Amino acid sequence: MNFSIKVDPATWQRYISSRVKGAELLSDPFTNKASAFTKRERAQLGLLGLLPPAVSTMEQQLTRVYENFLDRPTPLGKYGFLASLHDRNETLFFRLVHERIDEMLPIVYTPVVGEACQQFSHLYRRTRGLYISYDQRDAIEEILRNTYTADPSVIVVTDGERILGLGDQGVGGMGIPIGKLCLYTICAGVSPYSTLPIMLDVGTDNEELLKDPLYLGLRHKRIRGQEYQEFVDRFVAAVKKTYPNVVLQWEDFLKENAITQLERFRNVLPSFNDDIQGTAAVAVAGIYGGMRLSGQSIRDQRLVFAGAGASAHGIADLFCAALTSEGLSHEEARRRVFTVDTKGLVTRNRPGLEGFKAAFARDPEETAGWDCRDHSRITLEETILNARASILIGVSATPGTFTEPVVRSMARLNERPLIFPLSNPTSKSECSAKDAIEWSEGRAIVASGSPFSPVTYAGKTYRIGQCNNAFIFPGVGLGACVAHPRYISDGMFLAAAKTLAASVTADDLAESAVFPKLTRIRDCSHAIACAVVRSAVADGYADEEILMNLEETVRRSMWFPEYLPIRYEPWEGPSLPAPR
């Protein structure tokens, strides 16, 4: 590391102490200020003649880069421009996204990041993060130390097999950890100096990628079974040894692997799976918000899933936890959940049921009296009508699953049905927000996984709240970075869900939105981080001392993208650890 953050003892001003000067300083995105270097800095840091003479303010730079952003005609072109800006000037990149978060977040992450993952090997410009391939399994510790930060606070890792709703993207899945960690910084102020994206490359089963001459990953089928698990075991052991204080987030693994790794390692080091627990928390927060609009209690709701992957697993478990916190027994809570997959309603007489499906499968005797055309394959619409569902959640990654008859059935049963098409990117959404509003005659409470424009129906405009994990996982991660809990529990995610729901204002509800506006996401993340810390302490996973001045401690931990003065201060010996 060629720099560190220091505090001037005379003025208490923070500054960057750099051991390099000149062009090398400009080539490091953490220290590059480009045209914003002052005249004094240019003289002291060996930058004379390397920059145009005018000194720009941050505001002028933002105007310039935004003009360039707008010149890109396609969303993928805009993504590429932002990625290039990220690679050359971290502070300016994060400040631009912060200032225009509504416009930038769909480009930085969903839905555009999906296309970027698909085109990764053709768009590749500059490395970011670490790639650990199966053929390097004997050098994992060495690889982990070969990065810009000696003490990362958060790692996001994927193996690229289940990228959004797009499936196996191989090494292209690296776009997801990079994007997720951008959201940690944008939404919760986790310092970009201490975040580390990692790609575990075990091959790919995507034939198009294997045939692509530009593909950058391992060119063989995926390693599976015991060999795969031993590789992941080695990775976790190396992380624990090399970075004992890090928070590890699992991201976009195939359902079976996602569940296995979470359960296998959550007691080994502080870790969680955003697809399971983050999605669950934001969905349950949306349900709590929907209750504020409908005037009902969550304990009276009946939930039907379209889709039975890892996301459904997480949401179902946390929904049941929410019901039991309202006084229901565990068994009563489970009876409120119905799961429909490609074979219809999941029932106990189906052979080969997986753990999650088995836990929420319905007894065939219960459905024997249902009004259905074929009891061997009970459809989504028939499930809704017979179960008298009040909440419909789509995690199927199958567009068109929420048909007009499905939505109208929900509206027939409920004055204010909750309809959440959560699959992303947008091309995978179960229905559009517009269809959900129109088919329910304006009565549905709609939240979506991908962003949708406001919908106007019968003279009223509905703001479609995005059920975006960015409302949850950055705040959870921030809280974990502050408290250093020994374990990240489901109770922390329920606390996060309740806190997010409480952040929805009367103005939000007046627009029929069950989530806050993105412009308030840093405040939401601060509140969630505090709630997570309190939950960790209450459950005995963190030390009570952290509660002293908690809100101020969390706020001071949140990095903000602004330029610091830079001083050239060479030093002897090994590089200093990365700033936190």
Q: What is the pLDDT of residues 485-500, one digit of tens each?
A: 999 999 999 999 999 9
Look at residues 108, 114, 77 and name the one whose alpha carbon lies nearest to residue 428.
114
Residue 345 corresponds to which tokens in the numbers above? 């309603």
pLDDT at 293: 95
> Mean pLDDT over residues 132-144, rounded?
97
- pLDDT, tens digit (0-9, with 9 covering 90-100), for 59-102: 999 999 999 999 999 999 999 999 999 999 999 999 999 999 99
Span 178-183, average pLDDT: 98
Q: Quote the pLDDT of residue 455.
A: 97
Q: What is the pLDDT of residue 126?
A: 92
Backbone CA torsion sign across 69, 160, 245, 28 = negative
| Residue-averaged pLDDT of the chain | 95
150 pLDDT band, cuts 50/70/90, is confident
pLDDT in the model for residue 355 = 77
Residue 132 pairs with which residues in a beta bridge?
200
148 is catalytic: no
DSSP state of 167: B
For residue 376 the two structure tokens come to 């061997």
Tokens of 334: 């489970």
Q: Output 442 or 575, whichever has higher pLDDT.
A: 442
Q: Thinking of the domain 275-562, which architecture would CATH place it in?
A: 3-Layer(aba) Sandwich (3.40)
Residue 199 pLDDT level (bands cut at 50, 70, 90): very high
Check residue 347 and report its DSSP letter. B
List the catalytic residue out of 180, 357, 428, 498.
180
Residue 165 has what pLDDT? 83
Spell out a b/e string for 207-219, using b for 16 or more CB atoms within 10 Å of the CB, else e: eebbeeeebbbbe
Q: Among 206-220, 404-418, 559-573, which is the least confidently predicted range?
A: 559-573
What's the chain's Rg over C-alpha atoms?
24
CA distance 167 to 114: 10
The model's confidence at residue 157, banded by pLDDT at 50, 70 and 90, is very high
Is 33 designated active site? no
- Domain layout of the chain by residue ranges: 1-108, 129-269, 275-562
Q: Structure tokens of 415?
A: 């004055």
In single-letter form, the type of residue at position 519 comes to T
- 259 membership: H or E segment, kind and range: helix 255-265
Of 424-428, 487-491, 525-529, give the lowest mean pLDDT range.
Answer: 424-428
Is CATH 1.20.1370.30 correct for 1-108? yes
Q: What angle do CA 135, 141, 147 make, to 5 degrees?
A: 100
- Nearest-10 crossing angle of helices 90-99, 58-71: 80
Reported CATH class of domain 129-269: alpha beta
Q: What's residue 121's pLDDT?
A: 97
| SS3 state at 64 | helix
Distance, CA of 576 to CA of 571 (rounded, Å): 9
The percent of the chain in helix, strand and coil, each rounded to the nearest 5, is 50, 10, 40
- pLDDT value for 574: 53
Return the pLDDT at 573: 56
Is residue 206 scored above 80 in pLDDT?
yes
CA dihedral (424, 531, 251, 430) in degrees, to 10, reads: -20
- Backbone phi and psi for residue 287, each to the nearest 5 degrees, phi listed first: -65, -45
Q: Please tell me if the domain spanning 129-269 has the same topology as the one spanning 275-562.
A: yes
The yes-or-no verdict on residue 450 having pLDDT over 90 is no
| pLDDT given for residue 451 in this prediction | 87
Q: Kindly tell me if the per-residue pLDDT of 440 is higher than 80.
A: yes
pLDDT tens string 236-249: 999 999 999 999 99
Say yes or no to pLDDT of 303 above 80: yes
Q: Which of 79, 109, 184, 541 is catalytic?
A: 109
Q: Tell me: the pLDDT tens digits for 15-71?
A: 999 999 999 999 999 999 999 999 999 999 999 999 999 999 999 999 999 999 999
Asked whether the predicted pLDDT for residue 578 surpasses 70, the reply is no
User: Once rounded to an integer, what is the mean pLDDT over residues 385-392?
Assistant: 98
pLDDT of the residue at 354 = 81
